[in-house]
Chain A
Amino acid sequence: MGSAILYGLISLAICIAYFTAVDHFLMDSQGLDFWYLFRK
């Protein structure tokens, strides 16, 4: 059980980092700001 939680947390960290990078860089490549709402 303990290892499952650890694996889950590691997976979650990797996935969040990956999808955030996807969102940020693919918007950036189009000359758009992904964080538009948060900067306003």
Chain B
Amino acid sequence: MGRVAGKKLFSVMALCAMIGLLLLPIAVSLPSLAIGADAPDAVKKDGEAKVEKGRDVYYKTEGIVVGAPAPKTTDGPKDYPRYNFESRVLLWFANQQHLYYGSFVLAVPIFCMVIEFMGVVSKDKAMAKRYDQLAHDFIKISLTAYSLTAILGGVLIFTFLTLYPAFFGYLSSIFRPVMHIYALMFIAESGTLYIYYYGWDKMTTGFLKWIHLSMSVILNVIGTLLMFLANSWIGFMMSPAGVDEQGRFLGNIWHVIHTALWNPLNVHRILGNMAFGGGVVAAYAAYKFLASKTDEDRAHYDWMGYIAMALGVAFLIPLPFAGYWLMREVYAYRQQMGITLMGGLLAWLFIIQATMIGILFLSTNYYLWQALGRMRGAEKYQRYIKYLVFVLCCGYLVFITPHTIVMTPAELKAMGGQQHPVLGNYGVMSAKNGGINVIITTTILSFVWYMRGNKVSTVSWSKFGNIFMGVFFACAYVNIIWLAIYGYYIPANVRVGLSVPQVATTLSCLFFMFPLNSAMMKGAKQMGAIEWGKISVRSQYALIMLATAFTWMMGLMGYIRSSVRLFWHVNEIMRDNSPWAYTHTVGFAANMISFNVLFFWVSILFVFWLGSIGMKRAPAPVEAKAGVPGGAPQPAGGH
């Protein structure tokens, strides 16, 4: 009894220590945060004449200059020391790899938290054990990747220091307190992660389990804050604030952090990281499924792949909307920047991005349709899949149609202009918004079908519910397409607002139809068990495709976001005078992104291999065994 009480006391103390670690960097940094208040006093001591004021380039407020101007660099070994190779490419590689791993180790603990929570609240003990083991396996993979993330972070800093010393010196002079907080929070993250992982087997039940779960919450809060701090650096580089037009720091660190693009970047990145993490874990499960020798293993990895995919797609669905918000803020910040992105130099990369987004959703839908095959009773939906394919293809083709295409003069003459007389109409945002919303709505519909695949509703109002759901989806499609067409007939300043009701229509399907479907399926009649493991091999390739496409798209979008600064290190503040201050060709960028993707996947396979050493798996619950030949079919416990 005394031992249990001691354990409880120790676990509570550990949790408090984590919270302390979380708050410590903030407490330590308080004097630094107040630099704006201290610095003027220091300046005043030297006499009023020395006080110099500057105007914030973004907030337009006046502040006392406390920093040096942004260095005016020149091409040479002083500002741009180099090897006989393009320094920017080296930095690109180091940055991208660090980002891939950083995203992965940020996302996976969030998954662990969700899955562990599902295990804690699950009433089925076998299922709870299985969820717990899955979360434990995930964090084990994350632990190995975490070390690699830290190593890559070191590589990135050394690359900055050795190849771009002037720029990094300026950035660190502005973000000095933030970088220290970042370093302290990284220590807090490491400590929390190790206690969380190594304390797993010590805190398995009751109060101790809840403490353990709380630790995962703390871990994820720290991880998210770390990402927000790192985002403030790229936000500053794109849309600087808190400095005057010479780049001199004006003493308010919050202005430097809270730039015009910081919050959209935060939201976009956290959703993107989650979708990416889900994709990587799903690909891991798919690989293990394909390599499995026994039906039991196949059942386990099929289930694992489904959970990871579902979590990833849950964050993929709102991702385009977050991206839209980010672009909207970019336009609001600098219209020219937005035009460079979506209508100018980088527009073709956006066509590639649209293609990749379409592939992500097509892969997801394809997986879900294949997954219907492992449920008895889901045949009733399969005959309608061809209509979904048609709708998806239409949305996809509209979504990827370019506004203008590269042509020879002869082709231009034959077509009668830069735009195709028919297809050219689909190259505008009005049509594209319609296209992507149709794709996402169809994905939601596929999910709803999957959720009810092997079930028949028994609630008294099921007939009305089914009709209402059908009509709601039909009206949503009509509204999305109607708004897309309507956009052609109204001025641009009104048209731009139509995207909001279009998004709201899609989200209405997500937020109303999922709960409605769940309510209808409460106590539903089971047509048969989910036969985990009895899914086509093709579906697993779809999961691998999903993860690869996501990795590629992350690389692409990172490149686009970074390239939009053109020849600036810090937009309109610090010019890039290196020989590489130009925008690469689309072909070169695509090859570089592909190389980064390939390197990441080869290295993550090594991480998976390390993580799999000594990994022990809980016995599969009855649902999983349902698909095993010879095993008695059991009712599906859920999806």
A residues within 8 Å of B by Cβ? 3-4, 7-8, 10-12, 14-16, 18-19, 22-23, 26-27, 29-30, 32-34, 36-37
Contacts and interface: CB of A to CB of B under 8 A. Distances in A.
Nearest to A31: B497
B498 interface: yes
B501 A12 contact: no
Interface in B492-524: 493-494, 497-498, 500-501, 504-505, 508
Nearest to A27: B497
A32 B494 contact: yes
Contacts of A23: 479, 483, 501
Contacts of B474: 15
Residue among A3, A26, A27 facing the most chain B CB atoms (10 A cut-off): A26
B499 to A, nearest CB: 10
B498 A11 contact: no
B494 A36 contact: yes
B490 A36 contact: yes
A13 to B, nearest CB: 10
Interface stretch (B140-148, B445-453, B463-471): B463-471
A26 B472 CA distance: 19
Given A27-B497, A27-B498, A27-B500, A11 B471 contact: yes
Nearest to A4: B467
User: Binding site of B, secondary structure by majority: helix, strand, loop or mixed?
Assistant: helix
Contacts of A10: 464
B505 A22 contact: yes
B475 interface: yes
B472 A15 contact: yes
Contact of B467 (A7, A16, A19, A34): A7
Contact of A22 (B463, B491, B508): B508
Contacts of A8: 467, 471
Contacts of B468: 7, 11, 14
Given A11-B468, A12-B471, A37-B490, A26 B500 contact: yes
Contacts of B464: 7, 10-11
B472 A22 contact: no
B113 interface: no
Nearest to A8: B467
B589 to A, nearest CB: 35
A30 B464 CA distance: 35
13 contacts: A3-B463, A7-B468, A11-B464, A11-B468, A12-B471, A14-B468, A15-B471, A15-B472, A19-B479, A19-B508, A22-B501, A30-B500, A32-B497
9 nearest CB pairs, A to B: A11-B471, A15-B475, A32-B497, A11-B468, A19-B479, A7-B467, A26-B501, A30-B497, A23-B501
Among A4, A18, A22, chain B packs the most CB atoms within 10 A around the CB of A22
Main secondary structure, interface of A, reads helix
B463 to A, nearest CB: 7
B504 A37 contact: no
A12 B478 CA distance: 12
Contact of B475 (A16, A29, A36): A16
Contact of A19 (B463, B475, B491): B475
Contacts of B491: 36
A30 B486 CA distance: 17
Interface residues of B, number: 25
Contacts of A37: 486, 489-490
A14 B453 CA distance: 27
A33 B463 contact: no
Contacts of A15: 471-472, 474-475
B65 to A, nearest CB: 38
Nearest to B469: A11
B472 A11 contact: yes
Given A7-B464, A37-B489, A26 B504 contact: yes
A4 B470 CA distance: 12
Nearest to A30: B497
A5 to B, nearest CB: 9
A7 B475 CA distance: 15
Interface in B12-48: none
Contacts of A12: 471, 475
Contacts of A26: 497, 500-501, 504
A22 B472 CA distance: 13
A26 B500 CA distance: 7
Nearest to A3: B463
Contacts of B494: 27, 32-33, 36
A11 B464 CA distance: 8
A14 B472 CA distance: 9
- The listed residue with most A CB atoms (<10 A of its CB), out of B494, B501, B504, is B501
Contacts of B490: 36-37
Contacts of A36: 490-491, 494
B392 interface: no
Nearest to B491: A36
A15 B189 CA distance: 48
B476 interface: yes
A6 to B, nearest CB: 9
Nearest to B478: A19
Given A3-B463, A36-B490, 7 more contacts: A11-B471, A15-B472, A19-B479, A32-B497, A33-B494, A34-B501, A36-B491
B501 A27 contact: yes
Interface in B428-486: 463-464, 467-468, 470-472, 474-476, 479, 483, 486
Contacts of A19: 475-476, 479, 505, 508
Contacts of B479: 19, 22-23
Contacts of A29: 500
B502 to A, nearest CB: 9
A10 B489 CA distance: 31
B602 to A, nearest CB: 46
Contacts of B463: 3-4, 7
Contacts of A11: 464, 467-468, 470-472
Contacts of B475: 12, 15-16, 18-19
